[in-house]
């Protein structure tokens, strides 16, 4: 093999993985984590949302906000950040999520559904925009900044919003999300089936009240699994 051929081979061996890739989303884990149809989990870079498992304030609303954003029409892709790790210690991909030209990570912060989180004080290419968006959301008291009095804007620490407090009125639902399910399942009627739920990127979906859509056929509390 000649020198040129050897150099070409070596360049192929060290070529980094593509920084962008089109994706198909299978389900939403919480406001900052999704699962792809490949089974791989993706943690949205440089943001943090309230923990559903810890029943934190605004955790369900944050997941619903992400579900609504996933209904935006456009090509879905995930991108890496050259300044940050590509995989976390749990094996999750660390990525920005784009739908068309919409930066979903940034949009979540603008909506007050997430806060910037610069893990290990590492600054990504959108860190200034994320912090600015959070400061504006906090000043306008929207999203978690209105619902969770104990929330503090500290981009170098994980977000803590305190105990759960629903912002949804029991007498009037203006969110467009059915309160019987975790995640933003559209309000019944009309009736939806599992094909509809999967097309929205919500499957599997946890039943938290009455299964009005009839999604949980085996009665285990999880529909469309």
Query: What's residue 199's pLDDT?
Result: 67
**189 pLDDT more than 90:** no
Mean pLDDT to the nearest integer, 35-49: 95
Q: Could you say which DSSP state residue 29 is in?
A: E
**Domain check: are 24 and 102 in the same one?**
yes
Q: What CATH number corresponds to the domain at position 157? A: 2.40.50.90
Q: Which residue has the tokens 């060290």?
A: 14
**Domain check: are 144 and 204 in the same one?**
no
Domain boundary among the residues 166, 201, 217 is at 166
Mean pLDDT to the nearest integer, 29-49: 94
**Domain check: are 72 and 113 in the same one?**
yes
Look at the chain and count its residues: 225
Please state, in angstroms and as integers, the Cα–Cα distance from residue 133 to each residue in 33, 127, 128, 183, 197, following that order: 20, 10, 9, 24, 31
**Domain check: are 177 and 197 in the same one?**
yes
Highest mean pLDDT, choosing among 26-35, 64-73, 128-137:
128-137
**10 pLDDT more than 70:** no
Domain boundary among the residues 166, 181, 207 is at 166
Residue 171: in which H helix or E strand, if any? none
- Total count of domains within the chain: 2
């Amino acid at each position: 093999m000649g020198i040129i051929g050897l150099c070409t081979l070596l360049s192929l061996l060290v070529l980094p993985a593509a920084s962008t890739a089109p994706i198909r989303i299978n389900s939403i884990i919480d406001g900052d984590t999704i699962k792809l149809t490949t089974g791989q989990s993706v943690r949205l870079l440089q943001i943090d949302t309230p923990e559903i498992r810890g029943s934190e304030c605004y955790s369900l609303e944050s997941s619903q906000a992400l579900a609504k954003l996933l209904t935006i029409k456009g090509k879905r892709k995930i991108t890496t950040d050259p300044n940050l790790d590509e995989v976390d210690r749990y094996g999750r991909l660390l990525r920005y999520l784009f739908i068309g030209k919409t930066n979903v990570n940034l949009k979540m912060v603008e909506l007050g559904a997430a806060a910037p989180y610069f893990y290990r004080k590492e600054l990504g290419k959108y860190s200034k925009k994320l912090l600015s968006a959070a400061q504006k959301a906090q000043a306008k008291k929207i999203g978690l900044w209105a619902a969770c009095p104990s929330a503090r804007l500290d981009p170098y620490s994980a977000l803590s919003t305190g105990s759960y407090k629903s912002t949804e009125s029991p007498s009037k639902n203006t969110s467009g999300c059915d309160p019987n399910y975790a995640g933003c399942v559209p309000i019944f009627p009309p009736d939806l089936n599992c094909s509809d739920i999967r097309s929205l990127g919500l499957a599997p979906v946890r039943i938290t009240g009455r299964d009005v859509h009839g999604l949980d056929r085996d009665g285990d509390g999880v529909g469309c699994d």
